[in-house]
Structure 1
């Protein structure tokens, strides 16, 4: 089941993933992807970041019903941009940890 956060505003549901950031060690641990993000696709996204030196290492510790990516970054590397790690909003945006779902896409049925 989904453990991220869901907010409703202006006919839209905003779905946020979960992460823990340890800047002292240069580690970002993603423990929940937002709704409509699939683990395999997200891994490809992170591997592209690794290939482009945006992150320095990527490790996976997934379980049956859980996702866990450990992302390592090095402030001294060529592709590193400290602005992307300065606050929660920047991390959410840079690592695409937010999705939106319009409430116009729902069809509801009752028992009658």
Structure 2
């Protein structure tokens, strides 16, 4: 089972949110569970994620439905990572794939 955190209605983010997201991401990595953020596209939220570099670490999608597809794609794959998905956890069998931002 994976987790989708929908941030589409969020208009403000600071270090408190960043800490919460990074802790949840680490817990999911340790449990080998995908963790996807949907809709962190508002300028303040996107700026915080870009400046701190977490856009290269987290799986981000523009919409909730895209996020659910990403989670299902990761979980349904025979290998830990589907061919077109960034790794949601470290794996010696899958190379790191840089995260592409989905927000416009």
Per the shorter chain, which TM-score range? under 0.3
Compute the TM-score of the two structures, normalised by the length of structure 1: 0.26
When Rg is computed on C-alpha atoms for both structures, the one with the higher figure is: 1
Looking at secondary structure, tell me which structure has more strand per residue: 1
